[in-house]
């Protein structure tokens, strides 16, 4: 097991990249802590799978070095890096039994029969596969096959890290919960470094201690799920994380007040004046922090529609001429006319050209 | 899952094919059946003989010899061409301009008419002017496919392998190309060597195309006629007289239509039986059931 | 058009793909088929399309029996999970293809293609080839092609399954409006409960080829008629535990007591299965009636705004879906609060017997 260090890694699929646009992965430095659970989150084509394959050695980076602990592994082939990888579609050896599938990596490494048997049975036990050990792997369901793929990694005593490339794509929603919980549990138990690539925010946020959000080959933010949710440093993160994403409203800012259309909204911080000439200035607020209110000082809005998601409602409103979403509890009766809303002041963020701006926090008298 | 659409009009569309098949295959086959159970001396002079021709044919020693030769030939063809074809496919490049080049080179023998193949090889192996014949004689070995049975067989096998291995290679190549890259990546991560990759990934994934290759090569080699006819005419002696050559000799050379018809039917049944056996064997190899779920219902 | 399935079964070999499915789809309605993989969703769509013939039962369209009528003679369009477009045609020509087959040409064709493209926000892409599009755009093209055809019946088989989560979210909210505008009768298959809720309309829950419930989507979600439906229509999975009803209380296997309010209290005493949705369990006591359930924390999943606490409760694994960040210690006991007004009671045969008052359903 080892810390993984990426030192100035960049990759282009073109033999002679000309500009930054030719890079699928732009220069990146990063350290993956030993035993950490990480997620790489981003839309298709953001470079997350490229990054994963650079770590596993399936792709040689155009630039930079990869270190496992104190060892430079940039030029080492995959099989010598002691990593395991679980792919999007389950990879199993069709003609083998579940037992032989799990034993395969150990056999290839010349493990003794007794050691092999003990490891295989132990891994089968933690993955609930004991009952299927004698069955042919190809007859199993997708989730069991994916467990076998994972098991072939767990079975090896020498594994530095387990990499996951959208492993739950072909799994039904109900089973996703089981597999995810099992994975999380295994992580606690085995303490492997795990890196998990996905486009699904729920998977990324629930799996990882730290989530790396990528777009267009670049890391836009890395942080704990809480940080990403509460203080996205970029409007893209605000939009990409959360369901629905963060509301982004163009505004101007004077001191501790944001002006959205005709409405002046008090802010939790004091900012340098950001007028119409300050570039793109936006107010970001999560739908979870916008509430319907009966108080007369609420901002009047027009309700465009309500999506009942079961556990809560997503209310779609027009506020100052702009679309805005808010979530409301399951039982809420949304008024057809005369609805008003309030913002949780502490949750308001200000962005300039997409980047979060830090303000000076102010003490505010209780409103 | 069953994906056949319910469509009555489809029958109409295939009707012309059915009619052609009926005329080209079924009606001649019926004629053959007709001949096989009668002794025909001329128009209007036919006598019912029942299974007599069949009994006669089955007792024919020359036919036994031809049948043995035929099995030996087809067996050798499969034993050489399938592994060789797979080996070529494995060695082929997977991408880039070389792919097209290799594909064209491989396809060339397949484009040459069968009877021309024989002629080419006659010239190629002639001890006086043929490149192969002269070369091998110059090396101090005697080689004459018209006089020495072993040489005749070697020549025929060479010709057959040269002609048809590319087909097996192309089929195997198509099978290999269809394997998702994740399988190779997973195998590398699992520390599998090239042999394990071949045995546990490539071979199982090629099962479908190899079934087709084995069936095609078996049927085709079992029915071989034009090449030995042109190259050796069945000789020297009867050493390359395969079933079809013997059949033609019987039917046209000796005009024994009754036994020839009975022989044809037995021949047909043998091919059918073995094709079925091969198909079943390849479908069930390493596979306990065929019901396993697809990716999506 | 109105579509009626009467006792439709389909058996392939020895496997039953559909078992006595009866559904009535009103003209212009949206029906969501919800169920796990291999539940029979695709089989049902294929029967509806006329691609497969039912082994038993009838399919009526506007009152006419069309059971054996092939797909070509039905007014049907289909969108698949895979993005299926003509690779060598531009987006415009892809969308135009069904119209050209109907011999629509000239300004009429142009107008209808552009309308469909506008609806699906594809206008800037019209001159491109499918391979130059993102997955979302490719699937939009496929949907546009299906819509422009003007078919009376539009079938969608997990059309968003291969898309990125965020794209899926975006299309999910756009699709209902689009569907309403198309005027076609729609059938939409999905494995995801959230997707079903966002689409609205009616919902048929399927498992093992059977329809377990059919009704307005929100109603099926709130009032599942059986354990099976509740399990299909719950994400995270619904929490279940066997209980004994004695008088006005439920006895939990660990000895706990859940007092029952009027509606449910009147049920016959005996064994039941208690069901609670994960979001109806709370980590802080919601009201005076709430009963504490003590389980052992197995896994805690935190999304930054919500917590999913998995706990071992007796032999069962329960999930609590709570707002906010909660970090309980693993392998330690934790109290979660069960509100008697938000529980479901299922009879031993699986049928819903009753539900808490806040669920809006008294004794069934």
Which chain A residues touch B if contact means CB-CB below 8 Å? Answer: 56, 58, 77-79, 83-85, 87-89, 91, 93-96, 104-105, 108-109, 136, 138-139, 141-142, 149, 152-153, 170
Same domain, A155 and A280: no
Q: Which of residues 26-55 of A touch C (CB under 8 A)?
A: 43-45
- Out of A233, A255, A276, a domain closes at A233
Confidence at residue B21, expressed as pLDDT on a 0 to 100 scale: 79
Query: Pick from B74, B73, B93, B77: which is nearest to B85 by CA?
Result: B77
Q: Could you tell me what percent of chain B has a pLDDT over 70?
A: 91
A357 and A351 Cβ atoms separated by less than 8 Å: yes
Of B180, B193, B293, the CB nearest to A89: B180
Nearest-CA distance C162 → chain B (Å): 13
Q: Mutation test of the interface with chain C: which of B4, B7, B294, choosing the one with the most C Cβ atoms within 10 A?
A: B7
A92 and A145 Cβ atoms separated by less than 8 Å: yes
Residue A255 has a CB neighbour count (10 Å cut-off) of 14
Give the helix/strand (H/E) hosting B294: none
Q: What is the mean pLDDT of residues B9-17?
A: 77
Does residue A58 lie within any of the structural domains?
yes
CA separation for the pair C232, C219 (Å, rounded): 14
B1 contacts on C by Cβ (under 8 Å) = 12, 17, 42-43
Q: For B164-216, what is each residue's pLDDT tens digit?
A: 999 999 999 999 998 988 899 899 888 888 999 999 999 998 988 898 899 88
CA separation for the pair A255, C252 (Å, rounded): 58
Nearest-CA distance A228 → chain C (Å): 7
Query: Pick from B118, B117, B135, B139: which is nearest to B127 by CA?
Result: B135
Domain count, chain A: 2
CA separation for the pair C347, C205 (Å, rounded): 19
B287 contacts on A by Cβ (under 8 Å) = 95, 136, 138
* Band (B291; pLDDT cuts 50, 70, 90): very low
CB of B297 less than 8 A from some CB of A:
no
A244 contacts on C by Cβ (under 8 Å) = 169
Which chain B residues touch C if contact means CB-CB below 8 Å? Answer: 1-3, 5-9, 291, 293, 296-297
Confidence at residue B51, expressed as pLDDT on a 0 to 100 scale: 79
H runs (alpha helix) in chain B? 8-21, 27-36, 52-59, 61-91, 97-107, 114-125, 131-138, 149-177, 181-189, 194-197, 203-205, 207-222, 226-231, 243-248, 257-284
CA C257-C258-C264 angle, 5° bins: 135
Nearest CA in chain B to C49: B5
Does residue A95 lie within any of the structural domains?
yes
Same domain, A325 and A286: yes
C308 contacts on A by Cβ (under 8 Å) = 177, 206
Classify A255 as helix, strand or coil. strand
Q: For B55-88, what is each residue's pLDDT tens digit?
A: 887 888 888 888 888 899 999 999 999 999 999 9
Place of tokens 């975006």: C170
For each successive 10 residues of chain A (367 residues), what is the average pLDDT?
Answer: 87 84 88 92 88 91 91 90 89 92 92 91 91 88 91 88 90 87 85 90 90 92 92 94 92 91 92 81 94 91 89 92 92 87 94 91 63
Of C197, C302, C323, the CB nearest to A309: C197
CA separation for the pair A120, C255 (Å, rounded): 39
Nearest-CA distance B118 → chain C (Å): 43
Q: What is the mean pLDDT of residues C340-355?
A: 92
Q: For C141-195, what is each residue's pLDDT tens digit?
A: 998 998 888 888 999 999 988 888 888 888 888 888 888 888 889 999 999 999 9
Tell me how many residue pairs between chain B and chain C have CB atoms under 8 A apart.
Answer: 40
Nearest-CA distance A95 → chain B (Å): 6
CB of A310 less than 8 A from some CB of C:
yes
Q: For C85-139, what is each residue's pLDDT tens digit?
A: 898 999 999 999 999 988 888 899 999 999 888 888 888 889 999 888 888 888 8
Task: Tell if the CB–CB gap between A152 and B204 is shorter than 8 Å.
Answer: no
Same domain, A196 and A273: no
C236 contacts on A by Cβ (under 8 Å) = 174, 177
CA C325-C200-C145 angle, 5° bins: 115
Q: Angle of helix C91-101 relative to helix C106-119, nearest 10 degrees?
A: 130
Same domain, A191 and A218: yes
Query: Pick from C209, C92, C195, C79: which is nearest to C139 by CA?
Result: C79
Same domain, A161 and A284: no
Nearest-CA distance A106 → chain B (Å): 8
Residue ranges and CATH numbers for the domains of chain C are: 3-222 (3.40.50.300), 236-360 (2.40.50.140)
Of A84, A87, A138, the CB nearest to B292: A138
Which tokens sit at A193?
A: 């470094």
Same domain, A227 and A261: no
CA C34-C39-C40 angle, 5° bins: 95
Q: Mutation test of the interface with chain B: which of C70, C206, C210, choosing the one with the most B Cβ atoms within 10 A?
A: C70
Judged against a pLDDT cut of 80, whether residue B5 lies above it is answered with: no
Task: Tell if the CB–CB gap between C37 and B8 is shorter than 8 Å.
Answer: no
* Band (C333; pLDDT cuts 50, 70, 90): very high
Cα C117 → chain centroid? 27
CA separation for the pair A176, A160 (Å, rounded): 25
Nearest CA in chain A to C303: A205
Q: What is the mean pLDDT of residues B243-251?
A: 79
* Band (C362; pLDDT cuts 50, 70, 90): very low
- SS3 track for chain C: CCEEEEEEEEEECCEEEEEEEEEEECCCCEEEEECCCCCCHHHHHHHHHCCCCCCEEEEEECCEECCCCCHHHCCEEEECCCCCCCCCCCHHHHHHHHHHHCCCCHHHHHHHHHHHHHHCCCHHHCCCCHHHCCHHHHHHHHHHHHHHCCCCEEEEECCCCCCCHHHHHHHHHHHHHHHHHHCCEEEEEECCHHHHHHHCCEEEEEECCEEEEEEEHHHHHHCCCEHHHHHHCCCCCCEEEEEEEECCEEECCCCCEEECCHHHHCCCCEEEEEEECHHHEECCCCCCCCEEEEEEEEEEEECCCEEEEEEEECCEEEEEEEECCCCCCCCCEEEEEECHHHCEEECCCCEEEEECHHHCCCEC
C166 contacts on A by Cβ (under 8 Å) = 43, 199, 201, 239-240, 245
Judged against a pLDDT cut of 60, whether residue B1 lies above it is answered with: no
Does residue A84 lie within any of the structural domains?
yes
Confidence at residue B120, expressed as pLDDT on a 0 to 100 scale: 84
Of C194, C277, C303, the CB nearest to A225: C303
CA separation for the pair B34, B86 (Å, rounded): 44
Task: Tell if the CB–CB gap between B5 and C52 is shorter than 8 Å.
Answer: yes
CATH number at residue A227: 3.40.50.300
Is the Cα dihedral A130, A134, A140, A145 positive or negative? positive
Confidence at residue C288, expressed as pLDDT on a 0 to 100 scale: 86
Q: Could you tell me what percent of chain B has a pLDDT over 90?
A: 16
* CATH class of the B58-292 domain in this structure: mainly alpha
B13 and B231 Cβ atoms separated by less than 8 Å: no
Task: Tell if the CB–CB gap between B182 and A108 is shorter than 8 Å.
Answer: no
Query: Pick from A263, A267, A283: which is nearest to A360 by CA?
Result: A267
Q: Phi, psi (5° rounding) for residue B165? A: -60, -35
Give the helix/strand (H/E) hosting A52: helix A48-56
Give the helix/strand (H/E) hosting A86: strand A83-86
Does residue A284 lie within any of the structural domains?
yes
Residue A343 has a CB neighbour count (10 Å cut-off) of 23
Same domain, A44 and A90: yes
Confidence at residue B294, expressed as pLDDT on a 0 to 100 scale: 32
Confidence at residue B285, expressed as pLDDT on a 0 to 100 scale: 62
Nearest-CA distance A87 → chain B (Å): 7
Place of tokens 């969703």: C41
Confidence at residue C265, expressed as pLDDT on a 0 to 100 scale: 85
CA separation for the pair B295, C236 (Å, rounded): 23
Task: Tell if the CB–CB gap between C70 and B9 is shorter than 8 Å.
Answer: yes
Nearest-CA distance A242 → chain C (Å): 8
| Widest pairwise Cα distance in chain B | 77
Which chain C residues touch A if contact means CB-CB below 8 Å? Answer: 36-37, 134-135, 164-167, 169, 173, 191-194, 197-198, 200, 218, 221, 231, 234-237, 277, 279, 298-299, 301-305, 308, 310, 317, 319, 321, 323, 325, 330, 358
Does residue A20 lie within any of the structural domains?
yes
Same domain, A251 and A186: no
- Out of A184, A199, A233, a domain closes at A233
Same domain, A221 and A257: no
Task: Tell if the CB–CB gap between C305 and A229 is shorter than 8 Å.
Answer: yes
Q: What is the mean pLDDT of residues C7-31?
A: 92
Does residue A242 lie within any of the structural domains?
no
CA separation for the pair A309, A327 (Å, rounded): 10
Task: Tell if the CB–CB gap between C305 and A242 is shorter than 8 Å.
Answer: yes
B194 contacts on A by Cβ (under 8 Å) = none
Confidence at residue C361, expressed as pLDDT on a 0 to 100 scale: 43
Q: For B250-289, what is each residue's pLDDT tens digit?
A: 777 776 777 888 888 888 888 888 888 888 887 776 444 3
Mean pLDDT estimate for chain B? 81
Residue C56 has a CB neighbour count (10 Å cut-off) of 14
Does residue A238 lie within any of the structural domains?
no
Task: Tell if the CB–CB gap between C173 and A307 is shorter than 8 Å.
Answer: yes
Q: Mutation test of the interface with chain A: which of B185, B190, B196, choosing the one with the most A Cβ atoms within 10 A?
A: B190
Mean pLDDT estimate for chain C? 89
Enclosing domain of residue A292: 247-366
Residue C76 pairs in a beta bridge with C153
A13 contacts on B by Cβ (under 8 Å) = none
Same domain, A271 and A152: no
Task: Tell if the CB–CB gap between A180 and C301 is shorter than 8 Å.
Answer: yes
Task: Tell if the CB–CB gap between C38 and B5 is shorter than 8 Å.
Answer: no
Same domain, A214 and A265: no
Residue C263 has a CB neighbour count (10 Å cut-off) of 17
Does residue A356 lie within any of the structural domains?
yes
CA separation for the pair A229, A231 (Å, rounded): 6
CB half-sphere exposure, C99, CA atoms < 13 A: 22
Which tokens sit at C354?
A: 């009753």
C320 and C196 Cβ atoms separated by less than 8 Å: no
Q: What is the mean pLDDT of residues C226-240?
A: 93
Nearest-CA distance B285 → chain C (Å): 22
CA separation for the pair B234, B146 (Å, rounded): 10
């Amino acid at each position: 097991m080892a810390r993984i260090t990426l030192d100035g890694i960049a990759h282009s699929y073109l033999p002679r990249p000309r500009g930054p646009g030719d890079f699928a992965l732009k220069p990146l430095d990063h350290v993956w802590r030993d035993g950490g659970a990480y997620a790489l989150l981003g839309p298709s084509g953001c470079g997350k799978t490229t990054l994963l394959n650079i770590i596993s050695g399936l792709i040689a980076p155009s630039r930079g070095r990869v270190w496992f602990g104190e060892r430079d592994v940039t030029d080492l082939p995959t099989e010598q890096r002691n990593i395991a990888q679980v792919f999007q579609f389950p990879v199993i050896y069709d003609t083998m039994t579940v037992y032989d599938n799990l034993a395969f990596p150990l056999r290839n490494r010349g493990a003794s029969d007794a050691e092999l048997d003990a490891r295989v049975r132990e891994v089968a036990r933690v993955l609930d596969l004991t009952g299927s050990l004698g069955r042919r792997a190809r007859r199993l369901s997708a989730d069991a096959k994916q467990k076998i793929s994972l098991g072939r990694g767990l079975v090896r005593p020498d594994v530095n890290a387990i990499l996951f490339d959208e492993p739950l794509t072909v799994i039904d929603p109900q089973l996703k919960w089981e597999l995810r919980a099992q994975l999380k549990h295994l992580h606690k138990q085995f303490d492997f470094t795990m890196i998990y690539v996905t486009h699904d925010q729920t998977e990324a946020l629930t799996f990882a201690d730290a989530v790396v959000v990528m777009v267009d080959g670049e890391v836009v933010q890395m942080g704990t799920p809480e940080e990403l949710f509460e203080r996205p440093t970029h409007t893209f993160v605000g939009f990409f994380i959360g369901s629905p994403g963060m509301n982004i409203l163009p505004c101007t800012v004077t001191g501790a007040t944001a002006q959205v259309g005709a409405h002046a909204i008090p802010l939790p911080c004091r900012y340098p004046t950001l007028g119409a000439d300050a570039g793109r200035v936006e107010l970001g607020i999560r739908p979870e922090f916008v509430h319907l209110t009966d108080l007369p000082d609420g901002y009047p809005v027009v309700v465009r529609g309500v999506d009942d998601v079961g556990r809560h409602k997503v209310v779609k409103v027009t506020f100052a001429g702009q679309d805005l979403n808010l979530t409301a509890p399951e039982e809420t009766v949304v008024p057809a006319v005369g609805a008003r809303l309030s913002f949780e002041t502490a949750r308001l963020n200000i962005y300039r050209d997409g980047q979060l701006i830090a303000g000076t926090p102010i003490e505010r008298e209780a409103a | 899952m069953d994906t056949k659409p319910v469509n009555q009009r489809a029958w109409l569309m295939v009707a012309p094919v059915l009619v052609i098949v009926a005329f080209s295959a079924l009606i001649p086959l019926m004629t053959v059946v007709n001949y096989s159970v009668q002794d025909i001396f001329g128009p209007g002079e036919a006598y019912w003989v029942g299974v007599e021709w069949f009994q006669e044919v089955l007792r024919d020693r020359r036919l036994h010899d031809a049948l043995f030769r035929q099995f030996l030939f087809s067996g050798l063809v499969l034993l050489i061409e399938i592994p060789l074809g797979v080996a070529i496919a494995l060695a082929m490049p997977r991408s880039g301009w070389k792919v097209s080049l290799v594909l064209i080179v491989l396809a060339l023998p397949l484009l040459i008419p069968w009877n021309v193949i024989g002629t080419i090889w006659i010239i190629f192996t002639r001890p006086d002017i043929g490149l192969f014949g002269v070369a091998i004689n110059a090396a101090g070995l005697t080689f004459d496919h018209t006089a020495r049975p072993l040489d005749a067989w070697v020549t025929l096998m060479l010709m057959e392998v040269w002609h048809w291995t590319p087909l097996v290679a192309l089929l195997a190549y198509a099978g290999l190309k269809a394997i998702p890259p994740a399988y190779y990546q997973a195998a590398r991560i699992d520390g599998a060597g090239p042999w394990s990759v071949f045995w546990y990934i490539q071979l199982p994934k090629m099962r479908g195309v190899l079934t087709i290759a084995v069936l095609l090569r078996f049927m085709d080699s079992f029915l071989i006629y034009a090449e030995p006819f042109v190259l050796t005419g069945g000789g020297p002696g009867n050493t390359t007289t395969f079933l079809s050559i013997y059949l033609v000799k019987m039917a046209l050379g000796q005009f024994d239509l009754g036994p020839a018809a009975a022989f044809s039917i037995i021949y047909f049944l043998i091919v059918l039986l073995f094709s079925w056996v091969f198909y079943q064997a390849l479908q069930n190899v390493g596979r306990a059931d065929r019901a396993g779920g697809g990716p999506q219902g | 058009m109105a579509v009626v399935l009467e006792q439709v079964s389909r058996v392939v070999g020895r496997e039953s793909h559909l078992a006595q499915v009866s559904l009535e789809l009103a003209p212009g309605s949206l029906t969501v088929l919800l169920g796990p993989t291999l539940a029979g969703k695709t089989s049902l769509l294929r029967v509806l399309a006329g691609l497969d013939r039912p082994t038993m039962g009838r399919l009526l369209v506007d009152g006419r029996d069309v059971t054996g009528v092939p797909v070509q003679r039905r007014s049907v369009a289909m969108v698949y999970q895979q993005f299926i477009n003509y690779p060598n045609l531009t987006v415009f020509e892809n969308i135009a293809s069904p119209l050209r087959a109907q011999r629509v040409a000239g300004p009429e064709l142009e107008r209808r293609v552009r309308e469909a493209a506008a609806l699906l926000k594809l206008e800037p892409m019209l001159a491109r080839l499918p391979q130059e599009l993102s997955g979302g755009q490719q699937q939009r093209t496929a949907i546009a092609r299906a819509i422009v055809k003007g078919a009376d019946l539009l079938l969608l088989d997990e059309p968003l399954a291969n898309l990125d989560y965020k794209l899926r979210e975006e299309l999910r909210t756009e699709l209902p409006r689009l569907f309403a505008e198309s005027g076609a009768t729609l059938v939409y298959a999905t494995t995801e409960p959230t997707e079903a809720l966002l689409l609205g309309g009616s919902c048929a829950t399927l498992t093992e080829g059977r329809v377990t419930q059919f009704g307005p989507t929100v109603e099926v979600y709130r009032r599942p008629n059986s354990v099976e439906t509740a399990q299909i229509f719950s994400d995270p999975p619904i929490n279940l535990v066997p209980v004994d009803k004695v008088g006005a209380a439920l006895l939990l296997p660990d000895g706990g007591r859940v007092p029952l309010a009027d509606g449910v209290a009147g049920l016959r005493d005996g064994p039941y299965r208690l069901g609670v949705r994960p979001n109806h369990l709370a980590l802080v006591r919601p009201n005076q009636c709430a009963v504490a359930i003590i389980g052992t924390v197995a896994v805690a999943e935190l999304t930054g705004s919500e917590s999913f606490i998995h706990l071992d409760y007796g032999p069962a694994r329960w999930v609590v879906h709570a707002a906010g960040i909660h970090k309980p210690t693993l392998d330690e006991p934790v109290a979660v609060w069960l509100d008697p007004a938000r529980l479901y009671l299922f009879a031993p045969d699986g049928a819903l017997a009753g539900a808490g008052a806040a669920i809006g359903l008294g004794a069934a």
